[in-house]
Amino acid sequence: MSLAEIRLVLHRDEEGRTELIEQKLRWIRSQRAQLADAESFLEHVIGCRHDLLSRCPDCTRYASTYPPNKQARPPCG
């Protein structure tokens, strides 16, 4: 978060505070979901029996959703 965003969050009466906090929470939750997906994929890859990942339906399914259609950077307020 930028210094301006931190100031906004810390002052309860600032206009736009709640919206900024909600936006940051959505981004954090999105990142958490993407990390969980990546973790599941990598755990699967360790024991995957296919000689090529493209022959594995689970790996192919993960690859078809990448890159995620979400922000890679935290939103600016």
User: Which carries the bigger pLDDT value, residue 65 or residue 19?
Assistant: 19
Residue 41 — very low, low, confident or very high, per pLDDT cuts 50/70/90? confident
Residue 16 — very low, low, confident or very high, per pLDDT cuts 50/70/90? very high
pTM of the model: 0.67
What tens digit of pLDDT does each residue of 57-74 get?
A: 888 887 777 666 555 566
> How is the chain split into domains, by residue range?
3-64
Q: How far is CA 57 from CA 15, 25, 46, 53, in A?
A: 49, 33, 15, 8
Question: What is the predicted pLDDT for the residue at 62?
Answer: 79
